[in-house]
Structure 1
């Protein structure tokens, strides 16, 4: 073979090797690309799986599911129980999430859990023994409001109209049902002949969490009555010893709530009312006059005092037939534990403070000094 032929063969082999190298590169690139795509798809799938697994199983669920966690249950067993009950999507994911967050000390007990609870809420509940859920919204009812004012707040924050709210809380059949549910709280006294609104003063002022967007009027009222009962229960023994009723306590406390400007005032005003009651002296408290008129009075004039209404404590001695507003815990406590004074008079001055007096002469002096 001559030199020319040898070179030609050599070049041909080089060309074939180049083709082989290109083919190999393409195959390697294709394999690498395939692995990358598969990895990305797998990673995306894994991410979605984990992401969904760490959210609430069903954010819109309102169903409460009873879950029993036996004593001595470890994280593995608890995770399986939650999955079996349909509370979490994956026992494995919940277990790993709890471990990642160093959470493992859970309390045994019976819980009412929901599919709408997130893993964080479940962990918090199982750690404390109490069910924790993030509310959809909260409803705040301040102290010292009448039922009509509460109804307005409910209308502004929920789908329940003020008209429907008032219709529900004034319906005798509804109240009788609630009386059976809260026997320590609601008694026949709410149906007294002179009572304007049976549940006036019975809906506790507080901030209420709700876990659904449109709670029913029954649910709203029930939450408020439950709170009132919880705040009244500690004083049942006191009332029994004093031969007084819950209705009396809520009525007395509502007067303090409308008159007081500070915590200390509640206790001192309570002493004034007690001192007056002891000598059959009318309480003569302006908020009762406003309630008798059924409207807010920016200032009480002598002509306003003439209204013939059992709630008007200028005309009728003793406390009114029923509460005139919703009293908070501080006012309830002030009724039970008032200051010990000899005061018979007080007035709210232009300085925003209440001023007390033992004699009428002192009271007139305070009037000249702080009002006129």
Structure 2
């Protein structure tokens, strides 16, 4: 066989290289086509979803029925929250979506909704409904108003109500001693259970009277009506905090919340203190929370001494393992939220120093060292 010249070798090598380049171009072209097709398909899907979402949002913000101007009577009760107002509007078929109403109100930072009787219609937009609820018919001629701070005991709440409304504190106390009335409340309110009827419970509705401002009409000035208004508000707050007002765990939740209310000095501490309670219960380890001692004694203690902790009571967490038999005060929304969402950490101890700070520690030795710094 004749030898291939150098020039021929170069030519063949060049042709082979060109063939490879052309093959790669074809492959790259195919890949580009595939990628381009995928991108186009993705854009079309996004467009369809986006258009659908846009249509949904615009539909929710607009009138439910542009052709319907028929008046729909809607009552917004005193103490209603944004969430409860949204549910009422949806139930009365004034708006399409309670969820969209809530999101829109929060996005727009709308507030100032007033209790009252309203005439709304399905041809109103969401913005028009919001304005109406802010400026429409308002309950202005209240017969009485009172405000209950967080953390009070029931026996401290009733005299405050009496002072503001002239409804005798004895009327409230009589109702809480009426087992038949309490059983009716248990059947009416999801947050209540037979736990409140246990023999050693000091005040059956302790922990269930939501602390807030209440504005009352003349017909609401009776003990049963006031109690039920406060219970309704507590049920609403618990639903917002947990999404589930089931009575089988609400007693425990409010018991935890009441301890947090008694111990915390500001909102930043509440979830951390809730985590300490959770950690001690899970070990298990005695809670040893001072506010439970004061409640067991039935008096506000300026300082908890060692002798105070020796009282035998189902409320004293130096005496019983785990939670006390029931709530030790009436907690606010922040403490209920903290009880529902304890912070995850390894702390077992905390100490409030005289300067107002709270110090958390994981071990007893660390805790003792912290206490020693301030004593």
Range class of TM-score, shorter chain:
0.5 to 0.7
Match of 2:209 in 1: 203
Mapped partners of 1:252, 1:110: distance in 2: 38
Structure 1 residue runs of 4 or more that deviate by more than 3 Å after TM superposition: 107-111, 120-132, 234-240
Deviation (angstroms), 1:324: 0.5
In the alignment, the residues of structure 2 paired with residue 344 and residue 108 of structure 1 have an alpha-carbon distance, to the nearest angstrom, of 46
TM-score normalised by length of structure 2: 0.64
Take 1:71 and 1:180, find their aligned partners in 2: how far apart are those partners?
A: 42
Q: CA RMSD in A?
A: 3.0
Q: Deviations over 1:219-259 (max 9, x none)?
A: 1111100001111224566687xx96111111111000010
2:223 is equivalent to residue 227 of structure 1 = no
Residues 69-112 of structure 1: CA distance to partner in whole angstroms, max 9, x if unpaired?
x97337xxx6xx99xxxxxxxxxxxxxxxxxxxxxxxx99699x
Find the counterpart in structure 2 of residue 47 from structure 1.
Answer: none
Unaligned runs of 5+ in 2: 1-65, 74-89, 95-113, 121-128
2:156 matches 1:149: yes
Cα–Cα, structure 1 residues 244 and 220, in superposed 2: closer, same or farther, change >3 Å? closer
Q: How does 1:268-283 map to 2 (within 5 A)?
A: 268-283=272-287
CA pair 361-222 structure 1, distance change in 2 beyond 3 A = same
Q: Map Cα deviations across residues 42-63 of structure 1 (whole Å, 9 max, x no partner).
A: xxxxxxxxxxxxxxxxxxxxxx
**Structure 1 residues 249-328: aligned runs within 5 Å:** 249-328=253-332
What is the aligned partner in structure 1 of residue 102 from structure 2?
Answer: none
Partners of 2:296 and 2:313 within 8 A in 1: yes
**What is the alpha-carbon distance in structure 1 between the residues aligned to residue 245 and residue 218 of structure 2?**
37
Is contact 2:191-2:245 (8 Å) kept? Answer: no
Q: Is 1:72 equivalent to 2:68 in the alignment?
A: yes
For the residue of structure 1 that corresponds to 2:209, the secondary structure is: coil
Contact 2:242–2:340 (CA under 8 A) maintained in structure 1 = no
CA contact (8 A) 1:147 1:325 kept: yes
Aligned pairs for 1:11-160 within 5 A: 72-73=68-69, 126=120, 127-128=129-130, 132-136=138-142, 137-160=144-167
The 2-side partners of 1:144 and 1:264 are apart by 17
In structure 2, the residue matched to 1:355 is: 359
Q: Does 1:366 align with 2:370?
A: yes
Shift of 1:180: 1.8
User: Match for 2:182 among 156, 175, 179?
Assistant: 175
Match of 1:216 in 2: 222
Contact 1:73/1:108 (<8 A) preserved: no
Q: Secondary structure at the match of 1:347?
A: strand
Deviation string, structure 1 residues 296-317 (Cα, Å, up to 9, x no partner): 0000111111111111101111
Q: Distance in 2 between matches of 1:259 and 1:191?
A: 26
Cross-structure match for 2:87: none
Contact 1:147/1:166, CA 8 A, preserved across alignment? no
Q: Does the 8 A contact of 1:134 with 1:211 survive in 2?
A: no
> Quick check: 1:312–1:320 contact (8 Å CA) kept in 2?
yes
CA–CA distance in 1 between the matches of 2:141 and 2:232? 18
CA 1:108/1:337 → structure 2, altered by over 3 Å: closer, same or farther?
closer
SS at match of 2:173: helix
8 A Cα contact 2:241 2:336, kept in partner? no
Rounded Cα–Cα distance in structure 1 between residues aligned with 2:261 and 2:339: 11
User: Is there any run of 5+ residues in structure 1 with no aligned partner, and where?
Assistant: 1-69, 83-106, 112-119
> 2: distance between equivalents of 1:310 and 1:258?
17
CA shift, 1:143, in A, is 0.6
